[in-house]
Amino acid sequence: MIIDAFVLRALGAGLLAALATGPLGCFVVWRRMAYFGDATAHAAILGVALALGFNVSIFAGTLVTAFAMALMVSSLAGRGWAMDTTLGVLAHSALALGLVAASFLQGVRVDLEAFLFGDILTVQVSDLIAMALGTAAVTALMLWRWEALLTATISEDLARSLGLKPEREGMILTLALALVVAVALKVVGALLIGALLVIPPATARVMARTPERMALGAVAVAALSVVLGLMASLWFDTPAGPSIVAAAAGLFVLSLGAGRVVRA
């Protein structure tokens, strides 16, 4: 059986995204940052439009806008509006602004659907290199700051008493989130990155007894979702990004059943 090169590239891209999203997704779940992740991911569309408009790399454009968005959310937090109101305003504004900005790009054919829902089957080697670098950076950040991030998540005061700076750890998570958005944009698209951040950790939670196993489990679940989603996409000719997320959702439902058995 011959596997086409584009399938292998797609698989590589998906597995890189799984590796990047798993551990960070755990912090998104533990710190209840799911909407924060969504807002950051939605800003990626604006990043794509700006990158195409100014003719710079889409990866870089996405990374910068997502980081700017995350910084804006952090600085607006606690300024009178409830966090979910702030996030609701920013997430949808960023998405709408991105879509409007993209419409101004004349002469450039922008396949918006590819950026909203991912386009993993057209991943090029150059994309893969950028994604690998991004994933390596996220993984390094997670490994380097793991204990500190975990401590700051459980108690900011405890972290401070150990000489850690919770604000700095929060900034590191923000940076990692922007990197993950840039890595995963091609895989599942801006609208579904949030799903890839939350569903695999939630699935891994059932079996995990330690934070580390939950993170590894999330990577495994995300990787399995990528494989299943890609296979479904090739066999049934369904869109790849949504198929990957649908596979993750299916695994989550299975984990609920398994959890019931484990507890029984």
Partner 1 sequence: MTAPALVEARGLSVAYGPAAPVLSHVDFTLQPGEIVTIVGPNGSGKSTLLRALLGMVPGTAGSVTRAPGLRVGYVPQKLHLDPNLPLSVARFLRLNRKLTGDEIAHLLSRVGAPGLEERALATLSGGQLQRVMLARALAGNPQLLVLDEPTQGLDQPGTAAFYRLIEDVRRELGCAVLSVSHDLHVVMSASDRVVCLNGHVCCEGTPSVVSNAPEYRALFGLGTGGALALYQHHHDHGADHPDHPHDHETCDHDH
Binding-site ranges for partner 1 (CB under 8 A): 29-32, 147-148, 150-151, 153-158, 160-162, 164, 201-202, 205, 208-211, 213-214
Is 196 exposed, middle or buried (CB count within 10 Å of its CB: 0-12, 13-18, 19+)?
buried
Q: Which is nearer to partner 1, 100 or 154 (CB)?
A: 154
Question: Minimum distance between the CB of residue 35 and partner 1, rounded to whole angstroms?
Answer: 15
Q: Mind spelling out the 3-state secondary structure of 177-233?
A: HHHHHHHHHHHHCCCCHHHHHHHHHHHHHCCCCCHHHHHHHHHHHHHHHHHHHHHHH
Q: Which is nearer to partner 1, 7 or 31 (CB)?
A: 31
Q: Which is nearer to partner 1, 108 or 158 (CB)?
A: 158
The Cα–Cα gap between 234 and 36 comes to 32
Per the CB < 8 A criterion, the answer to whether 27 and 33 are in contact is yes
Question: Minimum distance between the CB of residue 27 and partner 1, rounded to whole angstroms?
Answer: 10
Question: Minimum distance between the CB of residue 263 and partner 1, rounded to whole angstroms?
Answer: 13
Q: Which is nearer to partner 1, 16 or 215 (CB)?
A: 215
Question: Minimum distance between the CB of residue 215 and partner 1, rounded to whole angstroms?
Answer: 10
